[in-house]
């Protein structure tokens, strides 16, 4: 297998992108984003390409496990410029995928988290398999559910999106379809990418397109608790609920208080937006600032570097996260934001 981090090429009338960083479960880095972007831009205007298929190298258990979080934290300790440039390029790619003129098919076979969600869920056709593990775990490292999370999460049924965003809960296999994240389900991914390249969208015939989520008995309580107007109210409702609800409260208690409040507002505002680009602008504002905070740097240290899983959050509890502080992450950026807009529309 080639050592290129993304293998891009045409197979028949299909443009195929294969993620190829198996040592990192194909997590996106600064090299991969422009490779994917350039290929998509070239194929969008190519009359010999009818659709795009995105998969990952065979023999690995991840579709795409996220982004280069360690790089983001190292950058955040300094000027933050490398991190901000990565976010800008990644969010422009997310926007390109969302607005793509041709069918964009992603094969979510294995771990699909963070940045991997951005290059799949924003596309037209998302195929889950029995191996799919979907999550947005950012609140556990002091980040937030970006890459379009403010758009697609609040548009899931009931309060599933808020539950996923705040708890970082994992959905597996057919539940990814049942939640509305995937559009199709097939047990085994073997040969699917090749079939799509050979037959086009006709290869999807017979795939499941609807399912009932496991644990459905908790959906009404989930909606009652996670639809509250403040994180504190969500916690109170969970603490007064069933054993399942109390378990969710315990999960939230370990997350970054700042991330929880930012994510709650992100999804609340995102639900009201009418344009995906407005959402990505909101997320760029948040990312630009949050990546430079000690809160995020500490989360990465505790979870990914030292692995003691005992982050000292700053602020340390929900009560210390003021509305003024949360507001500061959503305010316009000025010249940095203008540069992001100009590059995005170039």
- Which residue do the tokens 């809960």 mark? 169
Closest CA to 225 of 314, 162, 310: 162
Contacts of residue 246, Cβ cutoff 8 Å, sequence gap at least 6: 238, 239
Phi, psi of 12 (to 5 degrees): 60, -125
DSSP 202: G
Q: Is 51 left (phi over 0), alpha (psi -120 to 50) or beta?
A: beta
Taking only Cα atoms into account, the Rg of the chain, rounded to an integer number of angstroms, comes to: 19
Which segments of the chain are extended strands (E)?
6-11, 14-19, 51-56, 62-64, 104-108, 111-113, 125-128, 133-135, 171-172, 184-185
Provide the annotated active-site residues. Answer: 67, 115, 138, 146
CB 55 within 8 Å of CB 116? no
Query: How many CB atoms neighbour CB 245 within 10 A?
Result: 19
Cis peptide before 315 (omega within 30 of 0): yes
CB 63 within 8 Å of CB 189? no
């Amino acid at each position: 297998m080639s050592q290129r981090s993304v293998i891009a090429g045409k197979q028949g009338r299909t443009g195929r992108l294969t993620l190829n960083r198996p040592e990192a479960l194909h997590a996106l880095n600064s090299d991969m984003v422009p490779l994917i972007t350039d290929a998509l831009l070239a194929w969008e205007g190519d009359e010999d390409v009818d659709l795009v298929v995105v998969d990952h190298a065979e023999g690995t258990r991840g579709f795409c496990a996220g982004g280069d979080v360690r790089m983001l934290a190292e950058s955040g300790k300094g000027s933050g410029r490398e991190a901000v440039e990565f976010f800008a390029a990644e969010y422009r790619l997310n926007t390109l995928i969302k607005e793509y003129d041709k069918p964009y098919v992603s094969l979510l076979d294995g771990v699909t988290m963070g940045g991997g969600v951005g290059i799949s869920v924003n596309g037209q056709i998302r195929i889950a398999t029995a191996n799919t593990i979907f999550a947005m775990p950012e609140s556990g490292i002091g980040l937030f559910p970006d890459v379009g999370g403010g758009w697609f999460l609040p548009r899931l049924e009931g309060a599933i999106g808020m539950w996923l965003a705040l708890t970082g809960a994992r959905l597996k296999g057919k539940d990814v379809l049942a939640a509305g994240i995937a559009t199709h389900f097939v047990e085994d991914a073997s040969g699917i990418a090749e079939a799509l390249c050979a037959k086009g969208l006709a290869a999807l015939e017979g795939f499941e397109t609807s399912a009932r989520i496991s644990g459905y008995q908790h959906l009404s309580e989930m909606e009652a608790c996670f639809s509250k107007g403040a994180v504190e109210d969500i916690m109170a409702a969970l603490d007064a609920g069933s054993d399942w609800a109390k378990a969710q409260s315990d999960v939230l208690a370990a997350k970054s208080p700042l991330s929880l409040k930012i994510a709650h507002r992100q999804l609340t505002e995102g639900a009201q937006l009418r344009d995906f680009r407005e959402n990505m602008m909101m997320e760029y504002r948040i990312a630009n600032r949050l990546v430079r905070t000690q809160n995020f740097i500490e989360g990465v240290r505790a979870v990914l570097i030292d692995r003691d899983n005992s982050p000292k959050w700053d602020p340390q509890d929900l009560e210390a996260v003021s509305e003024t502080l949360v507001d500061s992450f959503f305010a316009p950026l000025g010249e940095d934001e203008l540069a992001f807009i100009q590059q995005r529309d170039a």
